[in-house]
Structure 1
Amino acid sequence: MELWIPITIFAAFCQNLRSALQKHMKGKFGTTAATFVRFGYGFPFAVLYVAGIHLMTGAPLPSINPTFLLSGAIGGLAQIGATFLLVHLFSYRNFAVGTAYSKTEPIQAALFGLVILGEGLTVFAVLCILLGVFGVIVISLARSALTKQAIIAALIGKPALIGLASAALFGASAAFYRSASLSLDGPGFLMQAGFSLACVTFFQTIVMGSWMAFKEPAQLELVVRHWRISVWVGLAGVLGSIGWFTAMTLQQVAYVRALAQIELIFTFAVSWLVFKERMNRFEVTGCCLIILAVIGIILFSN
C-alpha cells in the first residue's frame, strides 16, 4: 500500500472530528469565529510539528520562493472562503442539499489539478471519483423529502449555490497547496508539507485575526474566552491538515480528495456502533458506492 493512502485516511478521520467540533461551536460562535479557530489555534501545533521534523530528522527549513508565496496565499484565502461557506451552511434548515453539493470537491479538485498543475487522470479514475461523489450525494439527501420544491431548491436554491462555491474553493485550495509544497523541492516530503502548512496557517491566522479585530471584535473575544474547546478544534484541524498536505505532496489532489470521501464512512460507523442509530436504505446504498469508489482508487491510482 502506498504511503499516501493511510495518511489520507488518517486525515479524513481527523477532519470528521474537527467538523463535529466546529458544528458544535456554531451554536456558541458566529460563522467567522467558528472558522477562525481552525487556523488560529492550529498554527502553534503546526509550528511544533515543523520543529519536531527538523530536530528528529535533521531536515533543513526550505527556502521560500515566489511560486510558494503566491500558491500558498491563494490556497490559504480559498480555504478560508470555503470553510466560511461550509460553516455558514449549518445556518440553513435545508443545509443537507448544500452539503451534498459541497461534496463535489473531488471533481472540482481534479479540474483545478488539470488547469493549475497539468495533472491528468485515467478514465477509470474519473469513473471512481464520479461514483464516490454520487454516493455522497445519495447519503446527503437520504433523509430529505424529494418534493417538487425540494428538487427546485436542489438545483437553484441558495444552499446549493453555497455548497458548489465551497467545493470549488476547497478544490482550488488543494491544487494550490500541492503547487506550493512541490515548489520547495528539496528537504523531503515531510518537511515540504509541514513547512507549507505552518506558513499557510500563519498567513490565514493573520488575515482572519486582523479582519475580526476591526470588523468583529466581539467574535474574537469569544474565541479567546472559549479557548478550551477552541484548542481541540485547532489540534484536530492541524492533524487533519498535516495529513492533507503530506498526502497531496505525494499524490495528485484528485486521488487524495476522492479517497477523503471515506470520512462519511467514519461518520456512519460512529452513529451506528456508538449511538445505535439506524441507517435507511439510501444511506446504506451511498456508503456501498463510496466503499466501491475507494477500493477502485486504492487499487488503480497509478
Structure 2
Amino acid sequence: MFLLPSWVLFTVAAAGAQTLRNAMQRDLIHTIGTAGATYVRFLFGLPFAVAFLLLACVATGRPPNPLNLAALAWTGVGGVAQILATGLMLAAMRERSFVVTTAYTKTEPVQVALFGLIALGDRVTGAGALAILVATAGVILMSWPARSAKPLAAGEAAGWRPAMLGLGAAACFALSSVGFRAGILAMGGPTFFVAASTILAAGLCIQSTLIVAHLALFDRRLLKSVLAAWRPSLFAGFLGAFASQFWFMAFAIETAARVRTLALIEVVFAQIVSRRIFKQGASAREFVGMGMIIAGVALLLSA
C-alpha cells in the first residue's frame, strides 16, 4: 500500500484551508476593504495559533524549547517579509490587473528554491527543479490574461513598475517561507509539531503587533473597522491559522521549495471553488495550465 509522506498531507491540507480562507476574505473585502480583509488573517489568527500551541504541548506532553535569538530573528524576518509581500502585491494590483499580478507572484517557488539554497543549503535535484518550472509555468499560463485589443482600464499601468512590484511580492513571499522554515529549524524541538506551533504563534504575535501599531499611528479608522467586523473575521482568522499550522509543520520536515511547489495545487482548488461556489467557468487554457500544475506536482513527488 502506497502511503504519502506526511509533509505532502500537511501541504494539501494547508492549501485546502487557505483556499477556503481566501473565499471567506472575498466577502470581507466589501465590508472593510482589501487591506482590512488581509489584516484579519493575522489579527484574528493569533488567538487560534496560541490555542494550537497549547494543544501541541498537551498532545505531546512536552513544553516548547526557549525561543532562542536565531529562531526569533528568522521568525521576525519571515513575519516582516510576509507583510511586505502583501503590501507589494496590493500595490501591484492597484496598477495592473489581478490576474497579471497573480502570475507574477506565483513565481515564488523558483525564488524559494534560490533563497533556500543560499540561507539553509536546501538543495534541489534536477527532477525537482524541472517540477518547479513546469508547475510554475502552469500557474502563469492560467493567470495570464488573453491578449486583447481593448486598452488598459483607467488607473491600470503598463511597463516595468507593476512587474517589479509583483516580482518583489513573490520574492518577499519566498523569503517569508524560508525565514519561517529557518526559525523552526533553529527552534529545535522538542518535536516538530511543537516547534512549528511555537514559531507560528511567535510569527503571528510579531505581525499583529506591527499591524496594530501601524494602524494606530496612521489609519485608526481602518483599525476600528477591522475590530468592528470581528464576528465574520473570526472564521477567516481560524482558517488562516489552521492553514499556517499545516504549512509550518510541512516546513519543519521538508524543504520550503518542495512545499511551496506542491502548494501550487491551491490554484486547482481555487478553480474548483470558483466553479462550485461562484459559478465561474474555466477556459481551455486554464485546463491546460491545471494539467501542467498536476504534472509538475507528480514529478515533484516522484523526484
Alignment TM class, shorter chain as reference = over 0.9
| 1-structure distance, mates of 2:132, 2:86 | 22
Farther-moved stretch of structure 1 (269-278 vs 231-240): 269-278
Task: Give the letter aligned to residue 294 of structure 1.
Answer: V
Judging changes above 3 Å, is the alpha-carbon distance between structure 1 residues 45 and 98 closer, same or farther for their aligned structure 2 residues?
same
* Residues 129-278 of structure 1 mapped to structure 2, 5 A cutoff: 129-141=132-144, 143-146=145-148, 156-278=159-281
Q: 3-state DSSP class of the match of 1:121?
A: coil
CA RMSD, Structure 1 to Structure 2 (Å): 2.0
Q: 3-state DSSP class of the match of 2:282?
A: coil
Match of 2:7 among 4, 7, 24: 4
| 1-structure distance, mates of 2:275, 2:133 | 26
CA contact (8 A) 2:132 2:261 kept: yes
Farther-moved stretch of structure 1 (248-257 vs 262-271): 262-271
1:44 is the counterpart of 2:35: no
The runs of 4+ residues in structure 1 deviating greater than 6 Å are none
Kindly provide the CA deviation profile for residues 165-208 of structure 1, in whole angstroms up to 9, marking residues without a partner as x. 11100100100111100111131110000000001101111111
Shift of 1:14: 1.3
Shift of 1:264: 0.9
Farther-moved stretch of structure 1 (4-13 vs 55-64): 55-64
1:24 — aligned with what? 27
| 2-structure distance, mates of 1:124, 1:5 | 17
In structure 1, stretches of 5+ residues that fail to align are none
Identity of paired residues, percent?
36
CA contact (8 A) 1:95 1:159 kept: no
Shift of 1:145: 2.5
| 2-structure distance, mates of 1:9, 1:193 | 17
1:107 is the counterpart of 2:110: yes
| 2-structure distance, mates of 1:253, 1:211 | 29
Kindly provide the CA deviation profile for residues 225-253 of structure 1, in whole angstroms up to 9, marking residues without a partner as x. 11112112211110110011110111000
CA contact (8 A) 1:35 1:80 kept: no
Kindly provide the CA deviation profile for residues 76-129 of structure 1, in whole angstroms up to 9, marking residues without a partner as x. 100111123334455456221111110001001111101110111111111110
Match of 2:36 among 33, 38, 57: 33
Judging changes above 3 Å, is the alpha-carbon distance between structure 1 residues 154 and 261 closer, same or farther for their aligned structure 2 residues?
farther
Judging changes above 3 Å, is the alpha-carbon distance between structure 1 residues 276 and 216 closer, same or farther for their aligned structure 2 residues?
closer
Q: 3-state DSSP class of the match of 2:31?
A: coil
* Residues 89-108 of structure 1 mapped to structure 2, 5 A cutoff: 89-91=92-94, 94-108=97-111
1:69 — aligned with what? 72
Farther-moved stretch of structure 1 (89-98 vs 109-118): 89-98
Q: 3-state DSSP class of the match of 1:26?
A: helix
Task: Give the letter aligned to residue 120 of structure 1.
Answer: R
Task: Give the letter aligned to residue 176 of structure 2.
Answer: S
| 1-structure distance, mates of 2:265, 2:275 | 16
Farther-moved stretch of structure 1 (283-292 vs 21-30): 21-30
* Residues 282-301 of structure 1 mapped to structure 2, 5 A cutoff: 282-300=285-303
Judging changes above 3 Å, is the alpha-carbon distance between structure 1 residues 274 and 39 closer, same or farther for their aligned structure 2 residues?
closer
CA contact (8 A) 1:10 1:243 kept: yes
2:86 — aligned with what? 83
Judging changes above 3 Å, is the alpha-carbon distance between structure 1 residues 117 and 156 closer, same or farther for their aligned structure 2 residues?
farther
